[in-house]
Amino acid sequence: MPEYQLRRLAARWIGWTPVRIWGMVPVERLRRSLARAGVWDSGPWTGQAPVEPGAVLLLLGDHVYDDGLVDALAHTPDTALVRGDGRTVAVNVSRSRADEIAQAMVAGEEPPADLPRRKGSELVQGWVLKQRKRAVPLVMPVSAELRTAVEDRLFVAAIPGITDVITKYLWPLPAQWVTRACVSLGLSANAVTLVTLLLTVVVAALFHGGWLWAGLVVAWAMALLDTVDGALARVTLSTSQLGGALDHAIDFVHPPLWWWAWWVGCGDGNSGALVVMVLGWVFLRTEEMLFHWRFQIELHLWRRFDSLFRLVTARRNVVLAVLTVGLGFGHPLAGFQVAAGWMLICLTVHAIRILQAARQVQRGEVPESWLED
């Protein structure tokens, strides 16, 4: 739908529930989704459609919707959104039909049969969903009995599906506990990000002073909170450009600082491993950015191999795991050298993948994500 048409779309919700999901009632979540989609929020249904807009988005206010699903429906005129059991939960219709259809939805009846019905999976690209570890967009009714199930589903979707082995398999449960605590305390995702920034400095100081075990404890705590801030922002629909920029800046800067501090804390050691770790980190991220810039796709989303390799790529959490094992065996410098060796292997693998993608382009083929299959 052209942008000028989208600006003529108004949204109204039908019904509501006081049950809070991640600290917000469903209507508040819906209003945040509408704001992100650029849709005029005209409040609850009062018996008639807004006067100005040419189209109206009607949604049940006692449901939660995937953020991207609301945006997709806003761009799909004359469409009814149905959940898994076939019940209509939202419609995008012209103003002339809004009264009739809204009255049917208020009465718990289905809209007229001539209005096309589509599932969420038909509106949102499948590969986007697979990154969030599910096959269909989330559309669920909210009740006191379903509260925990809805919150669990939203949290699972907030953890990236393509990530390192620690984040994917170890962090989800503790991260959910901490996220729930943050919601209870009223902490924002940006506040958690600032805490990670503080812990980043503490870790560097501990490593540099030779307090390696203490530094690792704080480093793992920071790594957990680094997952929590993103998850908290997504489950509360409070992501922001500032928060995202700060989070990405911290993620890019602190690993080489940590690796240098670790090397200093270990005492005398081969500076070659330090050079590999510091410059390797910069080159590794440069390769990933180059791949995305050149082929318009994330490197780790290209082939199944790339997504699996992301589990063990020499990013922060994987390197921390290697250093922890090395220190556990009483050889912190040896662990650092092993990490440097793995960094070189990862750099080589990424370089090969860039060349292979370039060859594919030369053959006239466009690199696409395996998740789109």
CA distance 131 to 244: 18
CA distance 123 to 284: 35
Q: Structure pTM? A: 0.89
CA distance 177 to 325: 26
| 36 and 53 Cβ atoms separated by less than 8 Å | no
157 vs 262, higher pLDDT: 262
Cα dihedral sign, 57-60-61-65: negative
Q: What is the pLDDT of residue 8?
A: 74
Residues near 181 by Cβ (< 8 Å), separated by ≥ 6? none
**Range 83-91, long-range pairs (CB < 8 A, 24+ positions):** 83/119, 83/120, 83/139, 83/140, 84/119, 84/136, 84/139, 86/117, 88/117, 89/59, 89/60, 89/63, 89/65, 89/139, 90/57, 90/58, 90/59, 90/60, 90/65, 91/57, 91/58, 91/115
Average pLDDT, the chain: 89
Question: pLDDT-based confidence at 1, cuts 50/70/90?
Answer: very low
Give kind and range of the element (H or E) at residue 92. Answer: strand 88-94
Q: What is the pLDDT of residue 6?
A: 46
Q: How many residues does the chain have?
A: 373
Q: Is the pLDDT at 127 greater than 60, yes or no?
A: no
b/e burial code for range 343-368 (CB count within 10 A of at least 16 → b) = beebbebbeebbeebeeeeeeeeebb
Q: What is the pLDDT of residue 122?
A: 83
CA distance 327 to 53: 64
At residue 291, what is the residue type? F
Per-residue pLDDT tens digits for 36-92: 888 988 888 887 666 666 788 999 999 999 888 888 898 889 999 998 888 999 999
Question: What are the tokens at 99?
Answer: 């009264």
Q: How many CB atoms lie within 10 A of CB 162?
A: 20
The DSSP output letter for 330 is T
Q: Kindly give the pairing relationship between strand 63-65 and strand 117-119.
A: unpaired
Bridge-partner residues for 117, per DSSP?
80
Per-residue pLDDT tens digits for 153-189: 999 888 888 999 999 999 999 999 999 999 999 999 9
**Domain 3-127 class?**
alpha beta
Name the one residue in this structure whose structure tokens are 């990862």.
Answer: 346
- Integer-rounded Cα radius of gyration of the chain: 24
Per-residue pLDDT tens digits for 305-361: 999 999 999 999 999 999 999 999 999 999 999 999 999 999 999 999 999 999 999
What mean pLDDT do residues 17-25 have?
A: 95
Q: What is the pLDDT of residue 49?
A: 63
Q: Is the pLDDT at 296 greater than 50, yes or no?
A: yes
Q: What is the pLDDT of residue 69?
A: 87
**Domain 159-372 class?**
mainly alpha
| 154 and 21 Cβ atoms separated by less than 8 Å | yes
Q: How many CB atoms lie within 10 A of CB 113?
A: 7
90 burial (CB, 10 Å; 0-12 / 13-18 / 19+) is buried
Question: What are the tokens at 170?
Answer: 């170890």
51 vs 239, higher pLDDT: 239
Question: pLDDT-based confidence at 132, cuts 50/70/90?
Answer: very low
Mean pLDDT is lowest, of 129-143, 170-184, 194-208, 250-264, for 129-143
Q: What is the pLDDT of residue 53?
A: 66
Q: How many CB atoms lie within 10 A of CB 34?
A: 23
Side-chain-facing half-sphere of 129: CA atoms under 13 Å: 18
Q: What is the pLDDT of residue 50?
A: 65
